Amino acid sequence: MKRIALLGEFDSSFPPHPATLDACAHSAAALGERVDVSWVSTRDASIDALREFSGLWITPGSPYKSLTNTLAAIRHAREQRIPCLGTCGGFQHIILEYARNVLGFVDAQHAEYDPYASQLFVSELECSLVGRELRIALEPASRVAAIYGATDVVEQYYCNFGVNPEKVHLLRRGELRITGSDAEGEVRVVELPEHPFYVGTLFVPQLRSRAERPHPLVTAFLRAAESSVPAQHASGSAAAKVLHNA
């Protein structure tokens, strides 16, 4: 049985959070597999704790309780080739981790934590995208385009922060590919092509998932998650939920 860690501070009143659980259920049913999903607070996200999971989803809802643990978890998934999906705030922290630990900008920062930092890789958007649906152009040869089976998609957002346009040229120096942009050319999707599954989206795909139409990104993420991780502690968390095809 696949075990997925949903990294973030669960809030049932925050629409993307219950939508994340629902999206996992929709895709698990479509795959005909049992999937154990557990919310893990960033405060408790030690690397040892995360070793029990076969996939990591960095969820919306930042600022997180522990920026240090969040970035360490993302780095662990990136370096250990653990399937990783980051949406909204998760996407933003994928950018921050990459800037610090791959590009070498150790002082790279997110405006939500320090709006006056000298190396802001994630800045406040000029216009809030909360609740908006926008068209996104995907790179034809990208993983995400293959997952969607399309290069033109519409997705819903729930964010106020995104990639600082002044830092995009620096992001292009590494292997992290920018594979989705909006009509103005702003970065909306990134991925690591050589990783089993490492995708970040500024939009929130789980908001568009339905039982009769599971979201393809979520389904692809669950499919990529390895099933070899021990599950003996699956019932140990009050936040755990086992999803399966009825």
Q: What's the CATH number where 231 sits?
A: 3.40.50.880
Question: pLDDT, tens digit, for every residue of 1-37?
Answer: 789 999 999 999 999 999 999 999 999 999 999 999 9
> Among candidates 88, 199, 90, which has minimal Cα distance to 142?
199
Nearest alpha carbon to residue 4 among 228, 222, 210: 222
Number of domains in the chain: 1
**Tokens 């990591």 correspond to what residue?**
56
Instruction: Please state the pTM of the whole predicted model.
Output: 0.91
In this structure, how many other beta carbons lie within 10 angstroms of the beta carbon of residue 192? 21
* Per-residue tokens: 89: 């705030």
Domain that holds residue 91: 2-243
Alpha-carbon gap, residue 52 to 4, rounded angstroms: 9
- Tell me the pLDDT tens digit for each residue of 92-120: 999 999 999 999 999 999 999 999 999 99
Are 182 and 152 in contact by the 8 Å Cβ rule? The answer is no
Give the C-alpha separation, 208 to 215, whole Å: 7
- Measure the CA–CA gap between 16 and 204, rounded to whole angstroms: 7
Core vs surface per residue 40-76: b (16+ CB within 10 A) or e: bebeebeeebbebbbbbbbbbbbebebbebbbbbbbb
Q: b or e along 143-171 (b: 16 or more beta carbons within 10 Å of the residue's beta carbon)?
A: bbbebbeeeebebbbbbebbbbeebeebb
Summarize pLDDT for 179-225 with one digit per residue, the tens: 999 998 999 999 999 999 999 999 999 999 999 999 999 999 999 99
* Helix 89-101 vs helix 67-79: crossing angle, to nearest 10: 70
pLDDT number for residue 241: 56
Tens digit of each residue's pLDDT (9 = 90 or more) over 62-98: 999 999 999 999 999 999 999 999 999 999 999 999 9
For residue 50, give the nearest of 63, 62, 66 by alpha carbon.
66
Whether the Cβ atoms of residue 25 and residue 242 lie closer than 8 Å to each other: no
Please state, in angstroms and rounded to a whole number, the distance separating the CA atoms of residues 50 and 40: 9
CA atoms within 13 A on the CB side of 99: 23
